[in-house]
């Protein structure tokens, strides 16, 4: 039963930001169910554990060094992926940046880069992948656009920050960029449903990744505070999102799920945690 629901054999996923962090974890999850992987990231070299997935699972995996904020680079990468893989079935947009700056003194540089990567970059990659999926759909189904089985899925990575502000972070610019991504989900789901494409976002809670380690170096108390804010008293591990991403990607498991944001946060947004109570 589970193997029927969760298989991606013969499918191709385009992942951004999978050279490390949550994107790498998503790549690992997809590889475990035999999905072929095309990875876009700005780093010159991905983690060796990304490249190791190729032989370990016997999948096709290619790495395309790309700045997703650049339309020409995204267009070139997705055209190359179509040639290299022949099809695009899944797009996961995990590339992201965050800079902690008070709202009152947020710099132009932060506004421009954060929106360029988190919002515009995800938009550009999703647009290129959606066009590829629609072209393939039309080649199979002609102009028929009703009641066809699901043929593609697009997933944006948003954030718990769009649900609840943490007192130890000043990330209004980042939060707005993630809210903008969530704003794409419903209109895209509506526009792309006739081509059998589902569109959702995943909002992780506080997860221990390189991004989090970087923040922790700037603010040593950060992880301590986040641990207090979840119901389990600890920060999340990237592996704890593997099941969620497989659910979202596998049509047989989530074929009726589209136009939604899925929040997975260890309960951090469900309570008024003790750290917020004023001591007398
Ligand atoms: N870690 C968390 O607690 C957390 C919580 C909620 C949401 N998120 C989101 O999850 C996603 C992954 O976060 P992470 O913690 O793994 O971060 P990370 O910094 O470890 O990984 C992000 C990846 O994006 C890549 N990237 C950055 N700019 C790029 C660009 N212009 N073009 C292509 N690639 C680029 C980086 O090189 C890196 O590989 C991000 O969108 C982040 O906002 C993270």
**pLDDT in tens for each of the 280 residues of the chain?**
778 899 999 999 999 999 999 999 999 999 999 999 999 999 999 999 999 999 999 999 999 999 999 999 999 999 999 999 999 999 999 999 999 999 999 999 999 999 999 999 999 999 999 999 999 999 988 877 656 667 899 999 999 999 999 888 999 999 999 999 999 999 999 999 999 999 999 999 999 998 899 888 888 889 999 999 999 999 999 999 999 999 999 999 999 999 999 999 999 999 988 766 655 4
Catalytic: 206? no
Ligand 1 contact via 209 beta carbon (within 6 Å)? yes
Pocket test for ligand 1, best of 14, 17, 245 (most atoms within 8 A of CB): 17
Catalytic: 60? no
Ligand 1 contact via 94 beta carbon (within 6 Å)? yes
Tell me how far apart the alpha carbons of residues 55 and 9 are, in angstroms, rounded to a whole number: 15
HEC secondary structure over 119-186? HHHHHHHHHHHHHHHHHHHHHHHCCCCCCCCCCEEEEEECCHHHCCCCCCCCCHHHHHHHHHHHHHHH
| For the CA of 67, the nearest atom of ligand 1 | 32
The pLDDT, as a whole number, for residue 277 is 61
Q: Which of 63, 178, 195, 206 is catalytic?
A: 178
Distance 21 CA to ligand 1 centre (A): 7
- Domains annotated for the chain, with CATH where assigned, are 2-261 (3.40.50.720)
Phi, psi of 66 (to 5 degrees): -145, 135
Q: Which residues contact 154 (CB under 8 A, 6 or more apart)?
A: 90, 91, 93, 126, 129, 130, 188, 192, 197, 198, 199, 200
Catalytic: 139? no
Distance 117 CA to ligand 1 centre (A): 10
Query: What are the residues facing 39 on neighbouring strands?
Result: 15, 63
Pocket test for ligand 1, best of 42, 48, 96 (most atoms within 8 A of CB): 96
Do residues 170 and 103 touch, judged by C-beta distance below 8 A? Answer: yes
């Amino acid at each position: 039963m589970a193997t029927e629901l969760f298989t991606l054999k013969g499918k191709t996923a385009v992942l951004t930001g999978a050279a490390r962090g949550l994107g790498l974890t998503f790549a690992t999850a997809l590889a475990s169910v035999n999905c072929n992987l095309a990875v876009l990231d700005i780093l010159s070299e991905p983690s060796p554990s990304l490249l190791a997935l190729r032989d370990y699972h016997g999948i096709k995996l290619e790495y395309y060094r790309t700045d997703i904020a650049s339309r020409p680079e995204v267009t070139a990468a997705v055209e190359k992926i179509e040639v290299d893989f022949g099809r695009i079935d899944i797009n996961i947009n995990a590339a992201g940046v965050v800079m902690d700056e008070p709202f009152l003194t947020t710099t132009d540089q932060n506004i421009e880069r954060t929106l360029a990567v988190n919002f515009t970059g995800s938009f550009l990659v999703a647009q290129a992948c959606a066009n590829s999926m629609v072209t393939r759909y039309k080649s199979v189904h002609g102009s028929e656009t009703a009641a066809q089985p699901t043929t593609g899925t697009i997933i944006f990575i948003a954030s718990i920050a769009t649900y609840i502000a943490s007192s130890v972070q000043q990330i209004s610019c980042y939060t707005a960029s993630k809210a903008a991504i969530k704003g794409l989900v419903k209109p895209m789901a509506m526009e792309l449903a006739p081509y059998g494409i589902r569109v959702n976002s995943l909002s992780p809670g506080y997860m221990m990744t390189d991004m989090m380690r970087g923040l922790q170096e700037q603010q040593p108390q950060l992880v301590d505070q986040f641990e207090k804010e979840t119901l389990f008293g600890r920060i999340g591990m990237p592996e704890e999102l593997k099941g969620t991403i497989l659910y979202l990607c596998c049509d047989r498991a989530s074929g009726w799920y589209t136009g939604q944001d899925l929040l997975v946060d260890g309960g951090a947004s469900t309570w008024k945690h003790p750290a917020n109570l004023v001591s007398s």
